[in-house]
Amino acid sequence: MKNSDIAQVFAQVATLLEIRGDNIHRVLSYKRAAENLGEYPEELTKLSAAGELTSIPGIGKALAEKIQELIDSGRLTYLDNLAEEIPLSILELLKIEGMGPKRVKLVYQELGVKSLDELDEAAKDGSLATLPKMGQKSVDKIIAGIQALKSFGTDRVKLGEALPLAEEILEKLQKLPAVTNASIAGSVRRRKETIGDIDLLVATDDPEAVMSTFTTLGPEFEVALNGPTKSRIVKKGLGIDLRVLPAENWGTLISYFTGSQAHNVRLRERAKAMGLSLNEYAFSKIDSDEKILCPTEEDVYRVLELAWVPPELREDKGEIEAAENDSLPQLITLDDIRGDLHMHTTWSDGSHTVLEMAQAAIALGREYICITDHSYSLGIANGLNEERILAQHSDIQQVRDQLGDQIHILHGTEMEVRNDGRLDFEDDLLESLDFVIAAVHTGLSQPRQQVTDRMLGAIENPHVDMIAHPTGRLIGRRTGGDFDMSAIIEAAARTGTILEINAHPSRLDLKDTYVRMALEHGVKLAINTDAHHVDQQKLMHFGVSTGRRGWAEPKNIVNSWAYDDLIQSITM
């Protein structure tokens, strides 16, 4: 049994408990356990054999016994008992926008709905609309949500899933002796937020050896196509293409298969205007048979008299013109990032203490972090009230004293913007904090004007420094609030409020296109991990990629600034 399988069982328990309306602390302890187990770097089966399961953060004796039962028998009696009360199949209903735990429970109890298809039916035959607090608008939203899930959920996967798999396979191919070049291409190289299929490229003089390794990676991969220069394997519905050419073709090969298609069309047009044709093998002179080989990608752009274009920009959104005028942006890089302004600890729903989060940040080379636990009206996350915020202050001070000048630790909050637009804390308290984040987590399905006004209210508050994950979307799951983004961007620019690029691969919010829009209006941005676990601090690069796709430079990203400059900017 894999760690992720065990984690999934615990996540199911947490969700079933939540639907049942169980004690919040119990729900959270299973959620935390699921997170810790899924991300645990060593195999749990090995740990259990050594009797060391309780050394994992968040795993006490009772949970360790449950893990043991799973490893020994492949089942968990506790989950089986819960599933007798509430069928497991209804968990998929939670993936639909507008379906929270309470509604899922209601449709099951009142209508006997326990699958997507049954919910679809109930929505369309009118029975769903008979439930309390369920107007026709909600019903329509649910129908749309089911449709979105059906198309979105099966077609494309998140970059956060595709990139690690692509890197894992690439590493195996790179190790082969005859491989001179190997790279990820396609939308993964461009770091699009969702991926249709993975594209891998290899330059070698021994294609057979490469293909044979690629088509025998393991039983989880189905071989869909096995050719001399092109093969395709499939893992759980996700396709992985591999193309192999000799090293002399590498530049044109990687340029061609990185795309995007729109960018390639522009490159070919430009080639044509210069009397050339361009494909994955080479440039060819149109009036003769002469070929121009490009061993590197830089060569391709040089032939076209263009500056090399970073893959994240290759969408035909002005990058060709910029490459022509030598005015491409100096994009933000992971190395530019100095701090992380949004993270959680065990004070609310995080898995690690302030000290552990700070130490992990130091290990990643961060110069500053901000501890931003949830505020009290987000009960599900064990949010802090005023009293606990004050208590947290001494905790943070202690860690500052202990770590000295290794890192700056700011004390902040991720404060709820409540459904009626009021904020969780009074101005006095906000004034006393180093950094104030406001966030909309609930009521995201409110009408456009209402949900936008709530956000604008937070932006206009002089104590609010930043808006977290501004649209509230979860990729592939819910589209986020129906915000008037122009109004929000205008207000953020005018008030100097920072908008976040949340680096979690399920969020990437602001998304690339809004990043670009915000920058065009002079909005300051921050790229934060929103880590609930020490390991999640490593997800920063996904946010950086999103920033790059939105043409962000270091000057636009406040947490790439020196500490003193950041402090000056937020206390202004």
Site residues (vs ligand DGT, CB under 6 A) = 186-187, 192, 195-197, 199, 256-257, 259-261, 264
Closest-by-Cβ residue to Ca ion is 186
Is 242 in a helix, a strand, or coil? strand
Name the residue nearer to Ca ion (CB basis): 197 or 280: 197
**Phi-psi category of residue 400: left, alpha or beta, with phi > 0 → left and psi -120 to 50 → alpha:** alpha
Figure out which of the listed residues 38, 98, 186, 481 binds Ca ion, where binding follows CB under 5 A: 186
CB under 5 to 8 A by kind: which of Ca ion, ligand DGT, none does 260 bind?
A: ligand DGT
Quick one: residue 407, left, alpha or beta (phi over 0 = left, psi -120 to 50 = alpha)?
A: beta
Question: Which entry of ligand DGT, Ca ion, none binds 259, CB below 5 to 8 A by partner kind?
Answer: ligand DGT
**Which lies closer to Ca ion via its Cβ, residue 47 or residue 245?**
245
Q: What's the token pair of residue 400?
A: 């500052």
DSSP alpha helix (H) spans, 366-511: 386-403, 427-432, 448-460, 485-495
Q: How far apart are CA 422 and CA 418, in angstroms?
A: 5
457 binds, among ligand DGT, Ca ion, none (CB under 5 to 8 A by kind): none
Residue with tokens 């406001």: 438
350 binds Ca ion (CB under 5 A): no
Of 188 and 456, which CB lies nearer to ligand DGT in the complex structure?
188
Cβ closest to ligand DGT, residue 102 vs residue 150 = 150
Looking at this protein, which amino acid is placed at residue 78? Y
Cβ atoms within 10 Å of 222's Cβ, excluding its own = 12
Q: Of residues 194-223, which lie at the interface with Ca ion (CB under 5 A)?
A: 197, 199
Dihedral (CA of 358, 362, 363, 366) sign: positive
CA atoms within 13 A on the CB side of 143: 15
Which of 161/453 has CB closer to Ca ion? 161
Q: In angstroms, what is the minimal distance from the CB of 562 to ligand DGT?
A: 37
- Residue 249 binds which of ligand DGT, Ca ion, none (CB < 5-8 A, kind-dependent): none
Of ligand DGT, Ca ion, none, which one sits near residue 193, judging by CB under 5 to 8 A according to partner kind? none
Query: Can you point out the beta strands (E) in 20-101?
Result: none
For residue 218, give the DSSP letter.
-
Binders of Ca ion among residues 227 to 266 (CB under 5 A) are: 241
Least distance between Ca ion and beta carbon 315 (Å): 14
CA-CA-CA-CA dihedral for 115, 116, 121, 127, to nearest 10: 70
The residue number whose beta carbon is nearest to ligand DGT equals 259
Report the residue number, 123 or 195, with the smaller CB distance to ligand DGT: 195
> Per CB under 5 A, does 161 bind Ca ion?
no
Q: How far is the CB of 185 from Ca ion (least distance, A)?
A: 8
Cα separation values, 486 from 346, 492, 521, 558, Å: 36, 10, 9, 21
| Nearer to ligand DGT (CB atom), residue 256 or residue 542 | 256
The partner in contact with residue 264, picked from Ca ion, ligand DGT, none with C-beta cut-offs of 5 to 8 angstroms by kind, is ligand DGT
**Least distance in angstroms from the C-beta of 469 to ligand DGT:** 23
**Cα 497 to chain centroid, rounded:** 23
Binding site for Ca ion (CB under 5 A): 186-187, 197, 199, 241
